[in-house]
Amino acid sequence: MRRPVRLSVGLAAGLCILMPSAASADGSISIGNSLRYSLSSETNQEILEDYFDADYSHGSFRARLRYEVFQPSEEQRDREGQVFRAVGGTTTWGSLWVGNFYELFGRGMAFHGYEDRDLRVDNSLDGVDLNLEHGPVAFQAFSGKTPGKTVVLHGMDGDLRLPLGIEAGGSYLSRRQTSSTGYNSPDLELGTGRMRVTAGPVDIFVEGGRRSKSSAPEGGRGLFASIGASVPGAALGLEYKDYRHMGVGAEGKEYTTPPPASVEHRWSLLARHSRDLNADDERGGLAQLEWQPSGLVGLSGAFSLTENHDSDRLFDAKRLFSEAMAEARIAELSSTPVTVAAAWTEEFLGPALTTSGPVDDRREHVTFIAEVTFPVQDPWSGRVSVEHQHTDGDAVGAFDLEHIEIEASRSPGISIAAVAEFSNVSAMQRDLPWLPVFEDETAWFYLQGIVDIVRGHQLRVILGSRPQGKVCAGGACRTVPEFKGLEVQLTSMF
């Protein structure tokens, strides 16, 4: 089905007012607001997203408030309310919060509560959060309910710093159902232990955990291990992950995010194939190497692999994702920095029903990248980036994508860019339901201008179209819908 052409106007504004404390009698308050508005010229559909934040501090006292208005949001959800409010205090020994809070245990295997507005992640809890630290000992504990008040989570975490560069710690988390209405989840308990050893240029980290579930005879288990070593001009990093039934969710939100052991890309075509972390069924690893043979040249390489638990033996189960990438950076070549990169990516996206029967939607992507930055006329500089990606798979056939960016910028204050993308997919491929990004278009083009009007005030204008893409961070991803039309963003800081 072909989607209608959409013309939208977006407005984003930020306001930050800081009132510093006067002597010791007055406190300080910071206020911020972020607004986004869009309107479809064909459907006359409006989108309004607004975040209002206020923080107050006076001595050791702290208070936070956030009010959100979605009428509706980009995901077509309506909401208006005081969604984050907390009061607390901080001392040299720690802090205490009452109300909404975020928290992180270790590297997230046992608990990770955070907010990321780009990813649409906000899994704060409502309750009590305590943090204590004295000398080599740190302790955290919390008890909080989910936004829908159907689940309560209790957590504890401790760290001990020992001599000889050794740190040891452990975490505990329990999930209990508090209401029979709405979201239903079985009770569970999760515990982890971790250790970190730092010896000169070598850093080793290991964390393992177990999860028990009242309604399932099989418990969960998790293991993450990493080792990093560096010498002058070179660094090596190795990571291993093994997660089975380690996810803790409630009301559609995830409260555990163990390390993904994968690469986060800044390149557009590679970022679209980043893998979403599945803490319930995946294992694999990541190897990264950085080498700088001279002051002008830097080389890097990475390989990652993720598979499920169809087999108890590593490299013998169904491969879900794998990627190999190499990159070379020439810091200065006639005052012109150059980057070239190549990557091979394989991803499994599930079964697809073709005319000849069901097949695995397994795709291979071969990507080549080149970027050069060069002076134009002082203070102007230019940048050209070209990405080429060839895709092949039994369920999608073969096609190519070209992504080109041309930018001129002046420091400080002005950036003008033209971005184009083309694909040679056939009419038959555009009808495939598992290639929705090509339903309407095979070519996209937009102009972007960024201007620093005055200090603290920035205007960003985009005119044209861009395809559906992905935003990822720490193994969590969100699909950003395609866009066609005009977008205006204004950010102000006072």
Q: Please state, in angstroms and rounded to a whole number, the distance separating the CA atoms of residues 105 and 96.
A: 16
Residue 423 located in a structural domain: yes
Count other Cβ atoms within 10 Å, centred on residue 133: 14
pTM for the predicted model, two decimal places: 0.86
**CATH value at residue 435:** 2.40.160
Cα diameter, the chain? 78
Contact of 57 with 47, CB cutoff 8 Å: no
21 pLDDT band, cuts 50/70/90, is very low
Residue 91 located in a structural domain: no
Residue 28 located in a structural domain: no
Residue type, 440: D
**Token reading at 318:** 């169904």
Contact of 351 with 358, CB cutoff 8 Å: yes
CA 217 to chain centre: 33
Predicted pLDDT of residue 53:
87
Task: Give pLDDT tens digits for 261-272.
Answer: 999 898 999 999
Q: At residue 458, does pLDDT exceed 90?
A: no
Residue 476 located in a structural domain: yes
Task: Give pLDDT tens digits for 47-92.
Answer: 778 888 889 999 899 999 998 888 877 767 777 777 899 999 988 8
Residue 274 located in a structural domain: yes
Residue 150 located in a structural domain: no
Predicted pLDDT of residue 334:
62
Range of the domain at 346: 265-494
Residue 278 located in a structural domain: yes
Q: Give the number of domains in the chain.
A: 1
What number of CA atoms fall less than 13 Å from residue 169's CA on the CB side? Answer: 25
Task: Give pLDDT tens digits for 232-287.
Answer: 999 999 999 999 999 998 888 999 999 999 998 989 999 999 989 999 999 999 99
429 pLDDT band, cuts 50/70/90, is confident
- Residue 412's SS3 state is coil
Contact of 213 with 221, CB cutoff 8 Å: no
Residue 386 located in a structural domain: yes
